[in-house]
Amino acid sequence: MEIRSNISSSLPDVVRGDQLRLKQILINLVQNAIKFTDSGIIEVGAELYTISETDARVLLKVADTGIGIDPEKQKDIFDNFTQAESKIGLKYGGSGLGLAIVKKLVEMMQGFIWVESEPGKGSCFYFILPFALHKGSSTNMELETIPESIFVKMLDAHILLVEDDPINQMLIKRQLELWGLTVDIAQQGEEALRMHAEKKYQLILMDIHLPVMDGLTATGIIREREQGHQTPIIAVTAAALLGDRERILACGLDDYIAKPIDMNELYNILAKHLDSQE
């Protein structure tokens, strides 16, 4: 399989926009293209769509010669938790969340995205994004004021996720990786203890309800072990347990987040505890 890029010479040399979001969009689409293409070509392209005094609209595409997507399934492919077919989901793995995130990122950049695909021939994801042009002082205010979001600042740390549910493992890991984190997974408390002893983690995200050894017990043992430096441990707990704030904090946990996890809140908690270590 070959990956090609095709960047049109009609594009302006310099545009202003959100590099980080664009990178995340491309990484997701290219990862999917690789996942669903056994042989052939993956092409990443960019060409000028429209241009004005102040901004350039760029048409980007990620095309593959892979298995393609059934027309019926193309309709809701950008919706949360869609997998083209559960069979395919089983063969290729994945959470069905990637394209929902991609669409959100494209829309945050005031763009739009669509897919064209023929089963057996391949798929092409197109998206159009506006970029501000670097001409004198004429910057595009709309682009300047894209709201702060959970995707703004990448986090860079190695963290341990202690979670027994495979779906949650996948969803949380994928989201953490999109924020730049490296993630190891422990299924339960004892495994977490072993991994904590072997490797230095900058943070532990610990589900409280675990089989074999629960999160509070595991946290207690980790705290006994650690002399001086304490790894921040964030509890993930059912909302009903949140009333137990005192108990959770008394067990040596640094913070907690309720299930189902609000990803904005998770980002803020992680950023807070990772920042305070610098």
- For residues 94 and 174, give the distance between their C-alpha atoms in angstroms, rounded to a whole number: 9
| CB of residue 57 to ligand ADP, shortest distance in Å | 24
How many positions of this chain bind ligand ADP (CB under 6 A)? 21
Stretch that binds ligand ADP, among 66-74, 127-135, 180-188, 198-206 (CB under 6 A): 66-74
Q: Is residue 96 within the footprint of ligand ADP (CB under 6 A)?
A: yes
Contact 259, 236 (CB under 8 A): yes
**Distances from the Cα of 143 to the Cαs of 10, 14, 106, 127, 147, in angstroms?**
22, 15, 13, 17, 9
- With CA atoms as reference, report the closest residue to 201 among 164, 228, 250, 161: 161
Q: State which residue, 25 or 206, has the beta carbon closest to ligand ADP.
A: 25
**Residue type at 109 in one-letter notation:** M
Cα angle for residues 34, 186, 195 (degrees, 5° grid): 110
- For residues 88 and 66, give the distance between their C-alpha atoms in angstroms, rounded to a whole number: 13
| CB of residue 256 to ligand ADP, shortest distance in Å | 28
| CB of residue 24 to ligand ADP, shortest distance in Å | 12
Q: Is residue 99 within the footprint of ligand ADP (CB under 6 A)?
A: yes
Which of 43, 55, 64, 254 is close enough to bind ligand ADP by CB under 6 A?
64
Q: Is residue 67 within the footprint of ligand ADP (CB under 6 A)?
A: yes
| CB of residue 180 to ligand ADP, shortest distance in Å | 19
Which of 123, 188, 219, 237 is close enough to bind ligand ADP by CB under 6 A?
123
| CB of residue 65 to ligand ADP, shortest distance in Å | 10
Q: Is residue 94 within the footprint of ligand ADP (CB under 6 A)?
A: yes
DSSP three-state, residue 99: helix
Contact 173, 166 (CB under 8 A): no
Q: Tokens 């945050």 map to which residue?
A: 108
- For residues 57 and 111, give the distance between their C-alpha atoms in angstroms, rounded to a whole number: 9
Q: Is residue 32 within the footprint of ligand ADP (CB under 6 A)?
A: yes
**Residue type at 94 in one-letter notation:** G
Q: State which residue, 10 or 80, has the beta carbon closest to ligand ADP.
A: 80
| CB of residue 139 to ligand ADP, shortest distance in Å | 33
Binding site for ligand ADP (CB under 6 A): 32-33, 36, 64, 66-69, 77, 82-84, 88-89, 94-99, 123
